[in-house]
Amino acid sequence: MQTGLACFTFLLLWTQTIAGRTYYVTKSGLDSNAGTSQTSAWLTVQKAANSATPGSTVYIGPGTYYETVTVNVQGNVRDGLITFASLIYDSPAVISGKQAKTESADGTMNIIFIQEKSYLRFVNLELTDLKAVECSGVRITGAGTNVELRGLHIHDIRGGGQSGGAMPITVYNKDQTASRRQVIVDSCILHDCEPAWSEALTFNGNIEDFQVTNNKVYNMNNIGIDFIGGESFLGALGVRNGLCAYNLVWNIHSVYDSSSAGIYVDGASNVTIEYNEVHHSDMGIEVGAENKGRVASKMTVRNNYLHHNDKFGLAFGGYDSQRGQVTNSLFMNNRLVQNDVRLTGGGEISISFASGNVVYGNTIKPNSQNVILLASQEGGLNNQFDYQKYYPNGQGATKESLIFFWGNTQYDGLTAFQQNAKQEVHAELGVSKRAFGRKRFFL
C-alpha cells in the first residue's frame, strides 16, 4: 500500500511539473534542443507549436522569425492554457509572413493558424508582413474554447481582394454541433491592413461567450470590428452572447462603397457594445442584417462616443425589404457629435428595416445642417425614441432648428416631430458645452 501511494504521489508531482513547464525559442536555438532553457532553446515558433505541453509557457526571444505557424498543441481544463509570449516585454518577438509560401489547412495564408484547438493564449507578440488575397495575422477556425489573444500588435497584412481579405484577426466556425466559445481579444493594436472585402477583426458563425475589449483598430480599408451571423457558407448559427467594450476605432474607410462602420453587427444577437469610441471613419456603429431571413436582435449599444464620421454616427436596420431585420434592441446613453462630416443630409442616426427597438437617453450634437434622424418609410418607423438630449448647432440655434426625416415627411423642429410622430415626448435641450469636451467615455 505504501509503495502504491508513493508511486501515485510521484506521478502526481511529475504530472504537475510537466504541466507547468517553461519552454524557450530564440534566434540562436536549435529545434533539436530540449527547449527547456534559454541555452537549450528551440529555433522556431513552429517547433514550440508542435511540442508545448498543457499548462506550459513558451517564451519567444527578441528578433524576427520568418515563418507561418500552425498550432498543433492545446491545453486542457485540468492543466490550463498553453501560453506563447515574448521573453522580453519591451522587445516583443516579431513573427513575419514576408517569406510565407505554405498555406494553412483551410487553403488560406496565415501567420498563426488555430484549427479546432482550445486552451491557448498568445501575449505581446508582433505579427506583420503577410500578403495574399485571403490571409490573416491570426486565424481561428472550428469549434473549441478558451483562446486568448492579448496585447498583440498586428499590422501590414495586405493584398486582400474581393474573394477574400487581408485581415488582422479572424474567428470562423461553421460547425453546427459545437460552438467556438470564450475567445478573448484584449488590448491588441491592429492597423494598416487591407481587409476589404472582409473585415479587420471579425467573428463569424457559431461563436458565443466572447470578449473584444480595449483594442485599437485603425487605418483599415473596410469594416473595423464585425460580428456576423447568417452567411450561408458558415451555417445558420451566428455570433451571439458577447461583449465589445472600450475599443478605440478610427480611420476606417471602405475602398469600394465608402460605407464601412468602425463597429458593425451583421445578423448577430445578444451582443453588448459599450464604452467604445469611433471617429473619422465612414460610419460609427451600425447594427444590421444583410442575409435573407436573418434577424439581429437583443443588441445593447450604450455609452459609446461616436463623432466626426463621414456619414451616420449610429445606424440600425436590415439591408433591404427582402434581407434581414433588427429587432428588440436598445440604443442608450450614446454620445453622437458632428457626424455626417460630408454633409450628405443623412444626419446622426439612420434607421432602415427595424422594429421594436428603443433609442433612449442619447446625447446628440449634430453638424451645421442640424439633421438628427433619417428613418425609412418602409421599415424604420416602428421604433421608440425618447429622452434624447439635443445640442443644436450654430449661434442662436434652437430646438426648432433640428430636422427629423420620419418616413416620407420632413419635420422642421423638435416640436413638430414630437407632435406629429408622437416621439421624443421627454426630449430636452442641453445647456452646457462641457458635455462635448475631450473625455473619451462617460456615464
CA 1 from chain center: how many Å? 56
- pLDDT number for residue 323: 81
- pLDDT number for residue 442: 35
C-alpha cell at 401: 432648428
Q: How far apart are CA 147 and CA 29, in angstroms?
A: 27
SS3 string of the chain? CHHHHHHHHHHHHHHHHHHCCEEEECCCCCCCCCCCCHHHCECCHHHHHHHCCCCCEEEECCCEEECCEECCCCCECCCECEEEEECCCCCCCEEECCCCCCCCCCCCEEEEEEECCCCEEEECCEEEEEECCEEEEEEEECCEEEEEEECCEEEEEECCCCCCEEEEEEEEECCCCCCEEEEEEECCEEEEEECCCCCCEEEEECEEEEEEECCEEEEECCCCEEEECCCHHHCCCCCEEEEEECCEEEEECCCCCCCCEEEEEEECEEEEEECCEEECCCEEEEEEECCCCCEEECCEEECCEEECCCCCCEEEEECECCECEEECCEEECCEEECCCCCCCCCCCEEECEEEEEEEECCEEECCCCCEEEEECCCCCCEEEEECCEECCCCCCCCHHHCEEEECCEEEECHHHHHHHHCCCCCCEECCCHHHHCCCCCCC
Residues of the chain where predicted confidence (pLDDT) is lower than 70? 1-19, 432-443
Q: How far is CA 33 from CA 29, 74, 358, 395, in A?
A: 7, 21, 61, 73
- pLDDT number for residue 4: 47
- pLDDT number for residue 441: 40
Residue pair 266/229 in contact (Cβ under 8 Å)? The answer is yes
Write the pLDDT tens digit of every residue in 275-302: 999 999 999 999 999 988 899 999 999 9
Q: How far apart are CA 356 and CA 297, in angstroms?
A: 10
- pLDDT number for residue 433: 55
Q: How far apart are CA 287 and CA 242, in angstroms?
A: 14
**What number of other Cβ atoms are within 10 A of residue 312's Cβ?**
27
Q: How far apart are CA 161 and CA 145, in angstroms?
A: 30
CA 29 from chain center: how many Å? 36
Maximum Cα interatomic distance, the chain, rounded to a whole number of Å: 92
- pLDDT number for residue 246: 98
Q: Whole-model pTM above 0.95?
A: no
29's CB contacts (< 8 A; 6+ apart) are 35, 40, 41, 42, 43, 61
- pLDDT number for residue 263: 98
- pLDDT number for residue 322: 79
- pLDDT number for residue 432: 56
- pLDDT number for residue 434: 52
